[in-house]
Amino acid sequence: MRISLIILFLSFYQIVFSQYDTCPKTEKTQTTDTLYSIVVNDEYRWLEDIHAEKTVEWIEEQNSFSRKTLRKAALKFDSYNAIDKYSYVKYDNPIKDGEYYFTYAYYNNVSVPALFYQSSLKAEPKVLVDPNFISTADKISLKNYKVSKDSKLLAYQFSRNGSDWGEIKVIGIKIASNKKDHLFNVKFSGIAWKDDGFYYSKYPTADLDKTIGQEIYYHKIGTEQTEDELVFKRANNPEATFTCQTTEDERFLIIKEVDEKKSRINLFYIDFTDPTAYVKPLITRLKLNDNISILGNKGDTLIASTFKGVNNGMLIKIDTKNPRVWHSFVPEYASALLLETIVLQDKIINIYQSNRKQQILFFNYQGEVLHAIQMPFGFSVGGFNGQKTDKEILFSYEGYTQPKVVYVLDVETFEMKPLRSTVVNFDYTQFETKELEYESFDGTKVPLFMIYQKGIELTAENPTLLNAYGGFGSVVTPNFSPGIVHFLKEGGIFAFANIRGGADKGKEWVLQGKGENKQNSFNDFIAAAEFLIENKYSSPDKLAITGGSNGGLVVGVAMTQRPELFKVAVPVVAPFDMLRLEKFTIGHFHADEYGNTADSSGFFNLLSYSPLHNIDNDINYPATMIMTSENDDRVPPLHSYKFAAKLQNRVGQENQVILRVEEDAGHYGATSSFKKRLKEEADMYDFILFHLLNN
């Protein structure tokens, strides 16, 4: 009998106490910096030493206080059991790589997702890599994997306790056997197979405070890492980062160099059919925002997507013998953003988005449209996987309140049929999605959509959760969230604003919300709140805001600039001290997004919105839960520690401010078990609902 995998979804980023209990007091120290004749106070800098005994004791005191607070909320709303119920979704989501199909899945409530594999869609899935057996001392999370061209070996990358630092191991597939290969100091790396080895990126040392000097190596299976061949490095620019890939036929190695400081991209390649194969420049000094991605090849010709000279992206052909001459064969669509491209043997699949509506278009290599599939509003497609020569490929679509439905697509006839039914334990048809547009402070039209239960009356009394991201040119697409289902069933509205800084409207939308234009992102978010209030979808007493990472920064800025608009704020793994962001871990990589303090214009721009530096001693800010993870080495938790301490220790703060620090976790939160991840999300919704509904 076939075993069905249970896929458990928890979306970390999607998502009234007054000071009844006295929050922990935090010691202040006299620490100042003088930058461009401005004296900047930093009275909680001692919290930057995150491993000091004094800091650890302070964190435990904060967690103890937040646990006590959250228990009161859980008694009323019990989000844990509600979200747990909506999380159990039965369906198959196989990803084809080589000859096999792979699936990440939990097999119990206390494990982390393991990697399952099967030889065909009808075969029974078997565990191939179980992270629970990699270490008994650390919490292990699988990051990515890649199958060798002959489908005999699989290289997989994993991390410990939530860190971005990874390790790579190798396992045989047909006969599951662990190889001795074990690579360290890996970070922000892919795995690119070539013959009996693979290319990967590493750093000289896994130093929390220094992420510089990335290099590309080739590892031959069965050898020690010390024997790996150095392929590429930049001794004169140690802050540059690299990615590498091989084309499916393993003819080309493509190296992409990103230089954030100079806002430049360089591409290099090796053509292995060349008897004197070596690294050659392909495209150099391309502007960062003109981004280019090599998608594959058709013989001598490379297929790529780029934003050079266009706003929404186009496809080009590059002849490696004359790489400066590009041929555009799928031009830009003026009203639709190119999200993703899949290269097949005789056709191209493009996924486009326009105002949260996605469309799948099929092209031949002459750029002619062969077929189109229109997706429902508020849903996202993805997971297109298979080999270039496959006649059938798999893809899926999902929404915030509908889990994935996986389809088998015939790329010759374009016929699509469900792989198997998706089973949920709630009525996903009871929710409605509304497409809106509002005007920001400068007249710019910003897309917004809302989800709510059908039949509810849209009034100012609706508890509403507003979310956004707005950074790094990212497009946040809908994914199933049982937490949102729970919030909607409590009568809530979930709203998402496509603010500038993200790429929802193309390259210009990105440029208008980054660097010295970053305030546009925050203004767009604030304008979304004003729109919801003015149109009586919600009110300041019923409006909560949340966001993760850069979205958490958006929340931190909005709540400090316009606190009167919000009842609740939940920033997650957010940067708050923008003057010192560049000094820790990978903060120096973000000069292109935020600027830095190396010049006066960058300093004053950062100071103007840095949440930590714009807290007024006399203002009562919204009820706030600051969520972070103790091992986050992307946005170090020190940002959250200092922000919480400063918010809590002021005479004007009456609404409760709590800090929730997840143990053994990194930037993506509680990944060490399903139960921990569920508890993390449940705490967020308990806190929000208690403040919005307990009046």
623 assigned to some structural domain: yes
End-to-end CA distance of the chain: 53
Q: Are residues 366 and 467 in the same domain?
A: no
Q: Are 358 and 375 in contact (CB under 8 A)?
A: yes
Residues with Cβ < 8 Å from 119, sequence gap 6 or more?
A: 99, 100, 101
Q: Are residues 545 and 416 in the same domain?
A: no
DSSP string, 245-276: EE-TTS-EEEEEEEETTTTEEEEEEEETTSTT
Q: Are residues 578 and 641 in the same domain?
A: yes
pLDDT band per the 50, 70, 90 thresholds, residue 480: very high
* Opening angle at CA 393, ends 392 and 399, nearest 5: 135
pLDDT value at 207 more than 70: no
Q: Are 246 and 194 in contact (CB under 8 A)?
A: yes
Last residue of a domain, one of 366, 398, 423: 423
Q: Is 609 left (phi over 0), alpha (psi -120 to 50) or beta?
A: alpha
484 assigned to some structural domain: no
Q: Are residues 376 and 465 in the same domain?
A: no
Q: Are residues 547 and 607 in the same domain?
A: yes
Q: Are residues 643 and 547 in the same domain?
A: yes
658 assigned to some structural domain: yes
pLDDT of residue 150: 96
112 assigned to some structural domain: no
Strands 178-186 and 166-172: antiparallel
Share of the chain above pLDDT 70, in %: 96
591 assigned to some structural domain: yes
Q: Domain tally for the chain? A: 2
Q: Are residues 580 and 678 in the same domain?
A: yes
Tell me the whole-structure pTM to 2 decimals. Answer: 0.93
Q: Are residues 543 and 682 in the same domain?
A: yes
Separation between Cα atoms, residue 544 and residue 538, nearest integer Å? 10
pLDDT one-digit tens code per residue, 327-376: 999 999 999 999 999 999 999 999 999 878 999 999 999 999 999 999 98
Question: Is 691 tagged catalytic?
Answer: no
Q: Are residues 578 and 677 in the same domain?
A: yes
Encoding tokens for residue 492?
């809530």
Separation between Cα atoms, residue 346 and residue 500, nearest integer Å? 37
pLDDT band per the 50, 70, 90 thresholds, residue 110: low
pLDDT band per the 50, 70, 90 thresholds, residue 208: low
Q: Which of 521, 549, 640, 672 is catalytic?
A: 549
Separation between Cα atoms, residue 374 and residue 360, nearest integer Å? 6
pLDDT of residue 13: 35
Separation between Cα atoms, residue 682 and residue 77, nearest integer Å? 9
Question: For helices 518-534 and 600-609, what crossing angle results, to 10°?
Answer: 20
Question: Is 354 tagged catalytic?
Answer: no
Separation between Cα atoms, residue 527 and residue 521, nearest integer Å? 10
Q: Are residues 600 and 667 in the same domain?
A: yes
pLDDT of residue 5: 40
pLDDT value at 227 more than 70: yes
Domain that holds residue 392: 340-423
Q: Which of 219, 486, 613, 667 is catalytic?
A: 667
Q: Are residues 400 and 467 in the same domain?
A: no
Q: Are residues 567 and 632 in the same domain?
A: yes
72 assigned to some structural domain: yes
pLDDT band per the 50, 70, 90 thresholds, residue 672: confident
pLDDT value at 215 more than 90: yes
Separation between Cα atoms, residue 184 and residue 169, nearest integer Å? 9
376 assigned to some structural domain: yes
Encoding tokens for residue 527?
């304008």
322 assigned to some structural domain: no
Instruction: Please compute Rg for the chain using Cα positions.
Output: 25
pLDDT value at 12 more than 70: no
Separation between Cα atoms, residue 625 and residue 688, nearest integer Å? 9
Residues with Cβ < 8 Å from 499, sequence gap 6 or more?
A: 446, 468, 469, 470, 513, 521, 524, 525, 528, 554
CATH, residue 43: 3.40.50.1820
